[in-house]
A = this chain, B = another copy of it.
């Protein structure tokens, strides 16, 4: 078992191996200019003494921290958890530590965070769904500080980011509903300040147009990604003179809200109204009926973003743009073909 608080330093190792501590440092840093025999001797000394390099000291001297900061808005939903899971997985492969900052969606926190950043606490940054990234992007870019945005539509500027094909997902979901025979398809939007919400809506529009289905503005309800919006949206849609036979919610949480609204009116899902979501969060397969939705590869997005960042850390000059990972239709039990006369 590894002993805790082993205060073995390179000096101890050097003594044990009979070399200068500079040589030990070289071995630690995989410097080529060490004779194999010497390296072996040092390595075995390290082994014997149970040496573990002191990160603090390495950072101070070397000017790097070996840890990346991850800024997330929240931890409540499984959504973000999935992304972090991916980040963590990739990071643990590369000897970087993960320092987590939560903004709780407040601007003051974000500022505080930037200050921390300035401390040189981390070598790079992973920004998950930043609230208003514009503020930071220019600052970060100017200072040439490595960072990658996750799941946020770029603000026009070219900067490293990973997202999902939201437009395609919106299209696919709508198309699926159309192919099931639905024509009156309600849509509950996400928070329209976010590019992803916009793209999903665009995808919906495009599918409608592709299949020559008349678009009715009434069928679009403006939500904000919260469950309550789903409930209210579906309620409003069902109150229409010609209510939709299917509802496409911009995220799973709203889809759940919609399902509740539908049932609270004595209707059934999917018999009376089909519901499709977006995200494929873990609970999508846990609810009843299980939710048909568009899968966003959250975990993978975390991984890819991390890879991009590590790459950036190694080649600071490297230019990288936005990467979009494919979304995918996941058919479960919340949608069914339109019945006769419905």
Contacts and interface: CB of A to CB of B under 8 A. Distances in A.
Interface stretch (A17-25, A77-85, A203-211, A241-249): A77-85
Given A76-B282, A78-B76, A288-B259, A85 B102 contact: yes
Interface stretch (A109-117, A153-161, A170-178): A109-117
Interface in A44-70: 50, 52-57, 59-60, 65, 67
Given A2-B118, A92-B102, A118-B5, A286 B256 contact: yes
Contacts of A92: 102, 109
Given A2-B115, A4-B140, A286-B283, A121 B102 contact: no
A85 B75 contact: yes
A145 interface: yes
Contacts of A145: 4-5
Q: What's the number of copies of this chain in the assembled complex? A: 2
A227 interface: yes
A120 interface: yes
A315 interface: no
Interface string A288-310: 10000000000000000000000
Size bracket of the A interface: 35 or more
Given A77-B282, A119-B52, A5 B143 contact: yes
Interface stretch (A29-37, A93-101, A183-191, A317-325): A93-101
12 contacts: A52-B115, A52-B118, A54-B60, A55-B121, A56-B120, A60-B60, A78-B81, A88-B102, A92-B109, A97-B116, A256-B286, A259-B288
Interface of A: 1-6, 50, 52-57, 59-60, 65, 67, 74-78, 80-82, 84-85, 88-89, 92, 97-102, 104, 109, 111, 114-121, 135, 139-140, 142-143, 145, 227, 253, 256, 259-260, 263, 282-283, 286-288
